[in-house]
C-alpha cells in the first residue's frame, strides 16, 4: 500500500480520515480492524465492481479475522431503492449482525449511498466504511455522510446524515472504470472549481487533456484537492444548514433531468453538467455574473466531453415536476446556487419556477 495523502474530516467525535493511495484494497482489513470491536463485516458491492475487486477486500478482511458476507446488488441507479435496502437488511438479520459488526461500501455512489443508508438504520446504526471505486464517489459521494435511497416521487428522498468511520480511496480501482463514468465524475470536479476555487478551475482548464486521458499523477492531485474541499465544507456545515448547500450547484435542474429521464438517460454527473450550465445562464441573464462565466464553465465541461444541453426528448413538465420534488424547494420556491464569478457562488432563494421553466423551454426548442 502506498499512501499519497491523508486528510481529516473534522467533526468532533464523528471525525474520520480519508486515505488516498494505491494498493489500498489489499490492505484495507488492518485499517478497518483498528476502528471496530467486532469481526463481522458485510461488503456491499455491485455486479460490475464485485467481480473485479470484492475478493481482494474480502481476503484482506479475513486475514484480520473477520467473517465476511459479500452482498452483490445489480449495478445502476435503480438499485438505490427501498426494496434493495430491505433485502440487504434481511441478509444482515439472517447472518445475525450485531451492533459491533460493520458495513463496507465497495463501489460507486449508488453502493455508497445505499450501504450507508442500511448501516444507518440497522439496529439504530452500525459502523460504516466507504471504499469508493468510481471517480464520482471518490471526489464527492463517499465523503460527508449523506446516505439515501430514492423514492418513485423523488431522488434521495429517504435518507440520513450518517458519517463513515473511514474513507479508503484506492486509485488503482479507477483503472477498471469505463470512460463515460470517468467523465461523469469530472462534472462534480468542475463543480468544486466553480463554487470555491478559481485556481483549481484554471488548473483543470490547463490540464484538461491529461485529465481526460486519466494521467495518473494529475488525477491523484485532482482527487485529493476535491476531497480536501469537501472535507472543509462538511466540517463547517455537517447537515447542510448553510454553506454545504453550495455543493448542490447544478443539482436542482440536474435532479429534474434525471427524474424526467427515469434515470435511464443522463448519468448523475451528466445531468449536473447541464444543470450547471443553465444555472450559470440564469445568473448571467439576471445580472449576477458576466456571460463569460457560463461560456467558461460550458467550455471546460465540453473539453471533458460532458453534455451541456438539455436532451430534447425530455418533457418540460416532467423536468419541472422533478425539480419541484427536489429537497432544495422551500415553500414552493426554488432555491438555486448561482455563480457570481468562477470560484464564487451565492445561495439564492425564491426563484419563481416559471423563470426556470422558460429557460428550459428555450433549450428544448433551440
Ligand X SMILES: NC(=O)c1ccc[n+]([C@@H]2O[C@H](COP(=O)([O-])OP(=O)(O)OC[C@H]3O[C@@H](n4cnc5c(N)ncnc54)[C@H](O)[C@@H]3O)[C@@H](O)[C@H]2O)c1
Q: Which residues are catalytic?
A: 124, 146, 188, 230, 240, 244, 248, 251, 255, 268
- How far, in Å, CA of 156 to CA of 112, rounded? 12
- Angle at Cα 28 formed by Cα 137 and Cα 91, nearest 5°? 75
Q: Which of residues 291-350 bind ligand X (CB under 6 A)?
A: none
Contact 130, 167 (CB under 8 A): yes
Residue 24 binds ligand X, judged by CB under 6 A:
no
Residue 183 binds ligand X, judged by CB under 6 A:
no
Query: 365: which residues sit within 8 A by CB, 6+ positions away?
Result: none
- Report the residue number, 21 or 144, with the smaller CB distance to ligand X: 144
Residue 130 binds ligand X, judged by CB under 6 A:
no
Q: Which residue is nearest to ligand X (CB)?
A: 109
Q: Which of residues 151-180 bind ligand X (CB under 6 A)?
A: 156, 173, 176-177
- How far, in Å, CA of 110 to CA of 18, rounded? 19
For residue 269, the minimal CB distance to ligand X (Å) is 6
C-alpha cell at 187: 462534472
For residue 65, the minimal CB distance to ligand X (Å) is 27
Q: Which H or E element spans position 222? A: helix 216-236
Q: How far is CA 358 from the centre of its chain?
A: 29
Contact 80, 110 (CB under 8 A): yes
Single residue of 75, 91, 121, 295 touching ligand X by CB under 6 A = 75
- Stretch 31-60: interaction string toward ligand X, x if CB under 6 A: ---------------x-xx--x--------
- Report the residue number, 247 or 360, with the smaller CB distance to ligand X: 247
For residue 180, the minimal CB distance to ligand X (Å) is 9
Contact 30, 64 (CB under 8 A): yes
Name the DSSP letter for residue 190. Answer: H
- Report the residue number, 113 or 326, with the smaller CB distance to ligand X: 113
Choices 72-80, 237-245, 287-295, 345-353 (CB under 6 A): range interacting with ligand X: 72-80
- How far, in Å, CA of 189 to CA of 99, rounded? 36
Residue 111 binds ligand X, judged by CB under 6 A:
yes
Single residue of 40, 130, 184, 252 touching ligand X by CB under 6 A = 184
- Stretch 261-280: interaction string toward ligand X, x if CB under 6 A: ------xx------------
- Report the residue number, 258 or 294, with the smaller CB distance to ligand X: 258
Choices 58-66, 130-138, 326-334, 340-348 (CB under 6 A): range interacting with ligand X: 130-138
Name the DSSP letter for residue 74. Answer: P
HSE-CB for 123 with a 13 A CA cutoff:
14
Residue 181 binds ligand X, judged by CB under 6 A:
yes
Q: Please, what's the b/e burial string for 168-184 (b: 16 or more CB within 10 A of its CB; e: otherwise)?
A: bbbbbbbeebeeebbbb
**Quick one: which of 160, 340, 147 has its CA closest to 249?**
340
Binding site for ligand X (CB under 6 A): 46, 48-49, 52, 75-77, 80, 107-111, 113, 133-134, 136-137, 140-141, 144, 146, 156, 173, 176-177, 181, 184, 267-268
Amino acid at each position: 500500500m502506498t499512501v499519497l495523502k491523508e486528510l481529516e474530516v473534522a467533526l468532533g467525535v464523528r471525525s474520520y480520515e480519508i486515505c488516498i493511495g494505491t494498493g489500498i484494497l489489499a490492505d484495507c482489513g488492518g485499517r478497518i480492524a483498528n476502528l471496530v470491536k467486532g469481526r463481522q463485516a458485510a461488503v456491499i458491492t455491485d455486479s460490475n465492481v464485485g467481480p473485479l475487486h470484492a475478493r481482494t477486500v474480502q481476503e484482506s478482511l479475513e486475514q484480520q479475522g473477520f467473517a465476511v458476507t459479500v452482498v452483490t446488488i445489480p449495478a445502476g441507479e435503480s438499485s438505490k431503492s427501498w426494496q434493495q435496502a430491505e433485502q440487504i437488511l434481511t441478509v444482515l438479520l439472517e447472518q445475525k449482525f450485531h451492533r459491533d459488526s460493520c458495513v463496507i461500501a465497495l463501489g460507486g455512489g449508488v453502493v455508497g449511498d445505499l450501504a450507508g443508508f442500511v448501516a444507518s438504520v440497522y439496529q439504530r446504526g452500525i459502523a460504516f466504511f466507504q471504499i469508493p471505486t468510481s471517480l464520482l464517489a471518490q471526489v464527492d459521494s463517499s465523503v460527508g455522510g449523506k446516505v439515501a435511497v430514492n423514492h418513485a416521487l423523488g431522488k434521495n428522498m429517504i435518507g440520513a446524515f450518517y458519517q463513515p468511520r473511514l474513507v479508503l480511496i484506492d486509485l488503482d480501482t479507477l483503472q477498471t472504470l469505463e470512460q463515460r463514468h470517468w467523465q461523469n465524475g469530472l462534472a462534480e470536479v468542475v463543480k468544486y472549481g466553480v463554487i470555491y476555487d478559481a485556481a483549481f478551475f484554471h488548473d483543470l482548464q490547463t490540464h484538461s487533456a491529461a485529465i481526460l486521458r486519466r494521467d495518473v499523477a494529475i488525477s491523484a492531485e485532482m482527487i485529493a484537492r476535491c476531497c480536501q474541499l469537501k472535507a472543509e465544507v462538511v466540517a463547517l456545515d455537517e447537515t447542510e444548514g448553510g454553506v454545504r448547500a453550495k455543493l448542490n450547484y447544478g443539482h436542482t435542474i440536474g435532479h429534474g433531468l434525471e427524474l424526467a429521464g427515469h434515470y435511464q438517460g443522463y448519468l448523475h454527473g451528466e445531468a449536473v453538467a447541464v444543470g450547471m450550465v443553465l444555472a450559470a445562464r440564469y445568473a448571467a441573464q439576471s445580472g449576477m455574473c458576466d456571460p463569460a462565466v457560463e461560456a467558461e464553465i460550458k467550455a471546460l465541461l465540453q473539453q471533458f466531453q460532458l453534455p451541456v444541453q438539455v436532451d430534447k426528448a425530455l418533457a418540460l413538465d416532467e423536468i419541472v415536476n422533478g425539480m419541484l420534488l427536489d429537497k432544495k424547494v422551500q415553500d414552493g420556491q426554488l432555491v438555486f446556487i448561482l455563480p457570481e464569478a468562477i470560484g464564487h457562488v451565492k445561495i439564492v432563494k425564491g426563484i419563481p419556477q416559471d423563470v426556470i421553466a422558460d429557460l428550459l423551454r428555450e433549450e428544448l426548442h433551440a
